[in-house]
């Protein structure tokens, strides 16, 4: 009778022949369960169903509607308490019952179960985010250790260069989290990094989204180039200027971005006599594509060009 009423009310009802089939259906994602008091008293049902209910994950609390006989004896309360202990989230419905009462309980139970599945989805998302955060933290620490180790070696720039590079990396991290955690737009990175270097830097390029790793690398590159321009290049004189431009190479199998840093109006330039960490950083900070970065020390000014993966 209960199965017929629920079917007529629009529920998908599965009638189980035994406790084994019942547990299988519970495991497959049942919205709620309907049991009669007589069936729940069977030893096999008590053992198998109670065991499954106790083994539910923390987010799960399966709603159970228990159909009972009308009994007014004092022992009824003790029996109800025992059933609640055994089956957990249980609602008692005395027979005979009005069909509307059963349907109402079923809808409430199903709503409760839906909320439990929503909680499960949130927990799974939080677990995924926690694993992703752990992975990114380990990668970030590796980058920091690498920068620190190289910066504090002879020719690496010392503690001042280390702090400046870490500050640039921190700016990139801020942008990555501001834009959802998956990465950042290249134009946002460039503007954020060069903002403190004055107004003689022109910036031009389309919005290109970079992965978190690529965003960190480009932030370090732009900061290194800007620092060199202030110390040795075009930004050491009032007439000097810097142009930063980039474009997307979308026709390739894996999209890449080509970035060009060009200095003009500064003092004469020459290739450095020794290869310090700054040069290594400009070569290795991002995964270049189609060959290594180009360093051009032409009389008119220094130019740096790199093509790299957006990922």
Return the CATH number at 208.
3.30.565.10
d(CA 9, CA 63): 18
Cβ partners under 8 Å of residue 77, min gap 6: none
Instruction: Give the DSSP H/E element, type plus range, for residue 243.
Output: strand 241-249
Q: Which among 71, 103, 122 is the end of a domain? A: 122
Same domain, 169 and 70: no
Q: Kindly state whether residue 136 falls inside one of the protein's structural domains.
A: no
Cβ partners under 8 Å of residue 195, min gap 6: none
Mean pLDDT to the nearest integer, 238-267: 91
Residue 80 exposed, middle or buried by CB count within 10 Å (0-12, 13-18, 19+):
middle
d(CA 260, CA 247): 9
Q: Kindly state whether residue 270 falls inside one of the protein's structural domains.
A: yes
Q: Which of 273, 277, 271 is nearest to 303 (CA)?
A: 271
Query: Tens of pLDDT along 99-156?
Result: 999 999 999 999 999 999 999 998 888 887 677 667 667 666 766 776 687 677 777 6
> Is pTM beyond 0.95 here?
no
Q: Output the six-digit token pair for 262.
A: 């060009």
Q: Which residue carries 């106790």 as its tokens? A: 54
Mean pLDDT to the nearest integer, 47-56: 84
Q: According to the model, what pLDDT value does residue 207 have?
A: 94
Same domain, 157 and 253: yes
d(CA 265, CA 239): 6
The percent of residues in the chain predicted with pLDDT above 70, rounded, is 93
Give Dmax over CA atoms of the chain in angstroms.
Answer: 104
Same domain, 93 and 177: no
d(CA 171, CA 175): 6
Residue 164 has pLDDT above 90, yes or no: no
Q: Output the six-digit token pair for 294.
A: 């180009």
Q: According to the model, what pLDDT value does residue 263 have?
A: 95
CATH number at residue 31: 3.40.50.2300
- Domain encompassing residue 216: 152-309
């Amino acid at each position: 009778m209960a199965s017929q009423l629920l079917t007529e009310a629009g529920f998908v009802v599965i009638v189980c022949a035994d406790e084994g089939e019942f547990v299988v259906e519970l495991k497959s994602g049942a919205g709620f369960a309907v049991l009669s008091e007589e069936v729940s008293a069977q030893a096999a049902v008590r053992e198998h169903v109670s065991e499954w209910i106790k083994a539910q994950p923390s987010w799960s609390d399966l709603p159970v509607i228990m159909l009972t006989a009308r009994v007014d004896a004092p022992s009824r309360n003790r029996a109800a308490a025992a059933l609640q202990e055994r089956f957990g989230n249980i609602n008692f419905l005395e027979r005979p019952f009005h069909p509307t009462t059963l349907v109402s309980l079923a809808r409430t139970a199903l709503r409760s179960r839906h909320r439990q599945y929503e909680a499960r989805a949130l927990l799974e998302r939080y677990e995924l985010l926690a694993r992703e955060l752990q992975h990114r933290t380990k990668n970030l620490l590796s980058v920091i250790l690498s920068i620190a180790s190289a910066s504090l070696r002879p020719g690496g720039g010392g503690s001042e260069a280390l702090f400046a590079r870490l500050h640039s990396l921190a700016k990139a991290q801020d942008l990555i989290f501001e834009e959802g955690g998956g990465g950042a737009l290249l134009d946002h990175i460039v503007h954020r990094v060069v903002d403190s270097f004055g107004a003689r830097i022109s910036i031009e390029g389309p919005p290109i989204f970079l992965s978190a790793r690529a965003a960190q690398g480009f932030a370090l590159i732009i900061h290194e180039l800007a620092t060199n321009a202030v110390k040795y290049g075009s930004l050491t004189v009032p007439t000097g200027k810097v142009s930063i431009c980039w474009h997307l190479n979308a026709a390739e199998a894996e999209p890449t971005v080509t970035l060009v840093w060009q200095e003009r109006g500064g003092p004469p330039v020459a290739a450095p006599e020794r290869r310090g960490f700054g040069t290594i950083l400009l070569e290795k900070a991002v995964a270049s594509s189609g060959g290594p970065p180009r360093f051009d020390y032409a009389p008119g000014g220094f130019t740096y060009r790199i093509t790299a993966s957006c990922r």
